[in-house]
Amino acid sequence: MRYICALTIAGSDSCGGAGVQADIKTMSALGVYAASAITSVTVQNTLGVQAIQAIQPEIVAGQIRAVMDDIKPTAIKVGMVNDQTTILAIADTLQQYSPQKLIVDPVMVSTSGSTLMHEDALGTFCSRLLPMATLLTPNIPEAEVLSNLSISSIDDMDAAGRSILALGCKAVLIKGGHLEGRKVDKLYLPNNEVCSFVHEAIATRNTHGTGCTLSSAIAAFMARGLALTDAVAQAKTYLSQALEAGKDVHIGEGHGPVNHLFNPEKQIIL
C-alpha cells in the first residue's frame, strides 16, 4: 500500500492562509499526502507582508532532493520563489528528475499588494523554470508581466495566453479574477486549443491564498491521475466551494483565507 504524494516548493506564510500552509491544507483536504520544500519565510498576516527571509539555495535544493529520492511525489507545485539563485537551484535540481507533472504558480505580488519576486529574478524564471512547467497559472497582473501586454478584456487575455505559451511551457491557465464582470479563467494548450472556465464572483474579502490553493489543488488532482483539463476543472470547483464556505468567517483584519477544510477527504491509499 502507498499514499498518493505531491510536493509543494513554496514560501511559508506565518498567518497560515497562503504559501506552503495553504498548499498542505489543500492537498490534504483532497486526500493527497503533502511533502514540502520551503523557499522562504515570510513575516505576514492578513494585512500584508512585512518581511521575507530567503532560505539558502543549497538548503532548498537539499529539501527537494530529499523528498524526490525517498517519497517520490507524482506531482510537484512551485509557488513563491523571490530570488534568482533560488530559482536556479530549483530548476537545476528538478531537471535531474524530469518531473512529468509540474505546476508553476508565478507568485509575483501578494493579495495585499506586496511585491514578492525580485526584478532581476524574472528573466531567470522565464528562461529556466517556466519552460519546465506542465502548467503555468498566472493571474492577470502576472500574465501582464510575463507577456509584456496590457490585459483589460478577454481578447487581451487570449493574446497574453498565446504569448506566454510561446515562452516554452506546455500549458497556461490565466486566472481572470481581476477583470470586471463574470469571472472567466482560460486554459491555453498546444495546437491553439483553449478551454474556458466560467464562474460567478463570490462576494468576500477572504481571498488570501486563492492562487496558492488553486495551483496546489491542480497538482493534487493530477497526482490522483486526472488529465490536465479535468484537474483544472476539479480544482476550480474545490476553490469555489472553499471560498463560499469561508466567505463570512472573520479571521484577521485584512484578507482572510478560504476554508480549505470545508469537506476534507480521507487520505487515499492505493
**Cα separation of 102 and 97, whole Å?**
11
Identify the active-site residue in 15, 31, 212, 213. Answer: 212
Asked about 207 being catalytic, the answer comes back as yes
**Catalytic residue, candidates 93, 210, 213, 236:** 210
Is residue 170 part of the annotated active site? The answer reads no
CB 106 within 8 A of CB 169: no
> Is 195 in the active site?
no
* R_g (Cα) of the chain, nearest Å: 17
How many CB atoms are located within 10 Å of the residue 197 CB? 19
Choice among 17, 161, 209, 246 that is catalytic: 209
Return the C-alpha cell found at 244.
463560499
Secondary structure (DSSP) of 25-82: HHHHHTT-EEEEEEEEEEEEETTEEEEEEEPPHHHHHHHHHHHHHHT--SEEEE----
Tally Cβ neighbours within 10 Å of residue 33: 20
Residue pair 60/89 in contact by the 8 Å Cβ criterion: yes
Grid coordinates representing 234 are 476539479
- Residue of 175, 186, 246, 256 with catalytic role: 175
Of the listed 8, 46, 134, 207, which one is catalytic?
207
Q: What's the distance, CA 222 to chain centroid?
A: 13
* 123 given a catalytic annotation: no
Catalytic residue positions, numbered:
175, 207, 209-212
